[in-house]
């Protein structure tokens, strides 16, 4: 594949906006990647100078393409291929989202008991 024709989903994956190319393609298909306010498809060719609005699970980005990158590289190299021009209000939104992250632990007394809680219940019931 020549450097002049690079798919949008592959570019977003290569610059590490998305963890997988499948996630990048899905974001394009669901309208979370926009060029000048219009949703774009995953197969759209990327051109240097394009500005994309990208919404991921945790962040809102506005990026400008400064170079084409077809293969995924380490973060310190990938940031050289785009310019982060995210507006200030979106940066504040990103900080709010990051500060209230989910730890993955379940809330107390909601849902099924954990294995430890189940053992404690069994021990309690046997003592009758």
- pLDDT on residue 22: 95
Confidence check: pLDDT of 100 > 70: no
Confidence check: pLDDT of 114 > 80: yes
128 vs 8: which has the higher pLDDT: 8
The answer to whether 82 and 62 are in contact (CB under 8 A) is no
pTM check: above 0.75? no
Spatial distance between the Cα atoms of 31 and 41, rounded to a whole number of angstroms: 8
Please give the order of strands across the beta sheet that includes 33-35: 38-39, 33-35, 51-55, 60-65, 82-84
Q: What is the pLDDT of residues 37-96, one digit of tens each?
A: 899 999 999 999 999 999 988 788 899 999 999 899 999 999 999 998 888 887 777 777
Element (H, E) at 121: helix 115-126
7 vs 3: which has the higher pLDDT: 7
For residue 101, CA distances in Å to 1, 24, 54, 71, 105 come to 39, 22, 20, 30, 11
* pLDDT band, residue 128 (cuts 50/70/90): low
Q: Which two tokens stand for residue 58?
A: 């945790």
DSSP 45-108: BP-TT-EEEEE-SS-EEEEEE-S---S---HHHHGGGEEE---HHHHHHHHHHHHT---SPPPT
């Amino acid at each position: 594949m020549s450097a002049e024709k690079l798919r949008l989903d592959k570019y977003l994956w290569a610059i590490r906006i998305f963890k997988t190319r499948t996630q990048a393609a899905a974001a394009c298909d669901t309208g979370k990647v926009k060029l000048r306010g219009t949703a774009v498809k995953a197969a759209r060719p990327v051109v240097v100078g394009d500005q994309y609005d990208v919404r991921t699970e945790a962040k809102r980005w506005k990026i400008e393409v400064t170079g084409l990158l077809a293969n995924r590289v380490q973060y310190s190299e990938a940031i050289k291929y785009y310019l982060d021009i995210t507006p200030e209000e979106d940066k504040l939104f990103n900080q709010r989202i990051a500060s209230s992250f989910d730890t993955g632990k379940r809330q107390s007394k909601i849902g099924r008991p954990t294995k430890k809680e189940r053992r404690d219940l069994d021990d309690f019931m046997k003592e009758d």
